[in-house]
Chain A
Amino acid sequence: MFQHDRLNNEITFLQKIKNLDYILLISVILLSVVSVFIMYSTDGGEILFHTKNHFIKLLVFFPLMIFVAFFNIKFWHNFSYIIYFIVIILLIYVSFFGIKSSGSQRWMDLYLFVLQPSELMKIAIIMCLAKYYNRLKIENVNSFTSITIVLSIIFIPVIFVVSQPDLGTSILIALSGLIILWLGGVKIKYFIYSFFTFLISLPFIISFLKPYQKLRILTFLDPDRDPLGAGYQIIQSKIAIGSGGLNGKGFLKGTQSYLDFLPEKHTDFIFTLFSEEFGFIGSVLLLILYSIIIFRIIRIGSISRSNFARLFCFGYAFAIFIYIVVNLSMVLGLLPIVGSPLPIMSYGGSSMLATMIGFGIVLSAKINHKQVIA
Chain B
Amino acid sequence: MIKSNSGIRKADVINRRMFIIGVAKVVVFAGIVTRLFSLQINENKKYLTLSDKNRIREWKLPPTRGNIVDYFGNIIAGNLKVYQLHIIPEQVENFNYLLVRLKNLLNLSEKKIAKINKLKLELKPWDSIIVSENLSWSQFVKINNYLYDLVGVKPVMTISRNYPFKDVYTHILGYVSQPNEQEILDSQIIQEKFVPGMKIGKLGLEKRLENHLIGTNAIQRYEVNAYGKRINQLEHQKGKQGSKIRLTVDTEIQKACAELLTDKAGSISVMDVYTGDIIAMYSSPSYDPNLFLFGISQDEWQLIRNNPLKPLINKTLSGLYSPGSTIKPIVALSALENNVIDTKFKVKCTGKMELYGQTFHCWKEKGHGWVSLKNAMKQSCDTYFYEVSRLLGVDRLNLTAEKFGLGKKVLGDYFDVEKKGLFPNTKWKKNNLGKGWVLGETLITGIGQGYIQSTPLQLCMMTAQIANGGYAIKPKIVVDSNPISYEDAKQSMENELLFNKDSELLRDKKLFKNKKNIKIVQEAMFSSTNERFGTSYKSRIDDPKYQFAGKTGTAQVKRISKRERELDLELQQIPYKDRDHALYVAYGPYINPRYAMSIIVEHGGSGSKAAAPIAKKLFKLIIDRHDLRNEQSNFERITV
Identify which of B22, B37, B54 contacts A261 (C-beta below 8 A): B54
B29 & A259 in contact (Cβ 8 Å cutoff): no
Q: Which of B8-16, B173-181, B327-335, B461-469 contacts A (4 or more CB under 8 A)?
A: B8-16
Q: Which residues of B contact A138 (CB under 8 A)?
A: 6, 9-10, 13
Q: Which residue of B lies closest to A311 (CB)?
A: B14
A255 & B54 in contact (Cβ 8 Å cutoff): yes
Q: Is residue A146 within 8 Å, beta carbon to beta carbon, of the partner chain?
A: no
B226 & A239 in contact (Cβ 8 Å cutoff): no
Q: Which residue of B lies closest to A328 (CB)?
A: B32
A255 & B21 in contact (Cβ 8 Å cutoff): no
CB distance from B559 to the nearest CB of A (A): 75
B25 & A332 in contact (Cβ 8 Å cutoff): no
Q: Is residue B43 within 8 Å, beta carbon to beta carbon, of the partner chain?
A: yes
Complex Cα–Cα for A133 and B37 (A): 40
CB distance from A243 to the nearest CB of B (A): 4
Q: Which residues of B contact A244 (CB under 8 A)?
A: 40, 44
Complex Cα–Cα for A119 and B40 (A): 32
A255 & B41 in contact (Cβ 8 Å cutoff): no
B40 & A261 in contact (Cβ 8 Å cutoff): no
Q: Which residues of A contact B231 (CB under 8 A)?
A: 259
Q: Is residue A184 within 8 Å, beta carbon to beta carbon, of the partner chain?
A: yes
Complex Cα–Cα for A185 and B10 (A): 8
Q: Is residue B36 within 8 Å, beta carbon to beta carbon, of the partner chain?
A: yes
Q: Which residues of B contact A137 (CB under 8 A)?
A: 6
B35 & A332 in contact (Cβ 8 Å cutoff): yes
B39 & A242 in contact (Cβ 8 Å cutoff): yes
B40 & A242 in contact (Cβ 8 Å cutoff): yes
Identify which of B10, B15, B223 contacts A302 (C-beta below 8 A): B15
B interface secondary structure, majority: helix
Q: Contact residue range for chain B? A: 35 or more
A241 & B36 in contact (Cβ 8 Å cutoff): yes
A280 & B21 in contact (Cβ 8 Å cutoff): no
User: Which residues of B in the span 214-246 have a Cβ within 8 Å of any Cβ on A?
Assistant: 223-227, 231
Identify which of B13, B28, B225 contacts A260 (C-beta below 8 A): B225
User: Which residues of A in the span 307-335 have a Cβ within 8 Å of any Cβ on B?
Assistant: 307, 310-311, 314, 318, 321, 325, 328-329, 332, 334
Proximity string of chain A (231-273) to chain B, C-beta cutoff 8 Å, 1 when within and 0 when not: 0000010111111111000000001100111000000000000
Complex Cα–Cα for A374 and B2 (A): 11
Q: Which residue of B lies closest to A180 (CB)?
A: B14
Q: Which of A148-156, A283-291, A360-368 contacts B (4 or more CB under 8 A)?
A: A283-291
Total contacting residues, chain A, CB less than 8 A: 46
Q: Which residue of B lies closest to A179 (CB)?
A: B21
Identify which of A243, A287, A332 contacts B51 (C-beta below 8 A): A243
Identify which of A185, A239, A294, A301 contacts B50 (C-beta below 8 A): A239
Q: Is residue A49 within 8 Å, beta carbon to beta carbon, of the partner chain?
A: no
Q: Is residue A182 within 8 Å, beta carbon to beta carbon, of the partner chain?
A: yes
Q: Is residue A183 within 8 Å, beta carbon to beta carbon, of the partner chain?
A: yes
Q: Which residues of A contact B185 (CB under 8 A)?
A: none
Q: Is residue B7 within 8 Å, beta carbon to beta carbon, of the partner chain?
A: yes
Complex Cα–Cα for A292 and B41 (A): 25
Q: Which residues of B contact A243 (CB under 8 A)?
A: 44, 47-48, 50-51
A283 & B3 in contact (Cβ 8 Å cutoff): no
Q: Which residues of A contact B43 (CB under 8 A)?
A: 242
B225 & A302 in contact (Cβ 8 Å cutoff): no
Q: Is residue B118 within 8 Å, beta carbon to beta carbon, of the partner chain?
A: no
Q: Which residue of B lies closest to A239 (CB)?
A: B50
Q: Is residue B17 within 8 Å, beta carbon to beta carbon, of the partner chain?
A: yes
| Chain B residues engaging chain A, CB cutoff 8 angstroms | 3, 6-7, 9-11, 13-15, 17-18, 21-22, 25, 28-29, 32-33, 35-37, 39-41, 43-44, 46-48, 50-51, 54-55, 223-227, 231
| Chain A residues engaging chain B, CB cutoff 8 angstroms | 133, 137-138, 179, 182-185, 236, 238-246, 255-256, 259-261, 275, 279-280, 283-284, 287, 291, 294, 298, 301-302, 307, 310-311, 314, 318, 321, 325, 328-329, 332, 334, 374
24 A–B contacts from the bound complex (CB under 8 Å): A184-B10, A184-B13, A185-B10, A185-B17, A236-B54, A240-B51, A241-B36, A241-B39, A242-B40, A243-B50, A246-B40, A255-B54, A259-B231, A279-B40, A280-B40, A280-B41, A284-B33, A287-B29, A294-B25, A310-B15, A314-B21, A325-B29, A332-B39, A334-B35
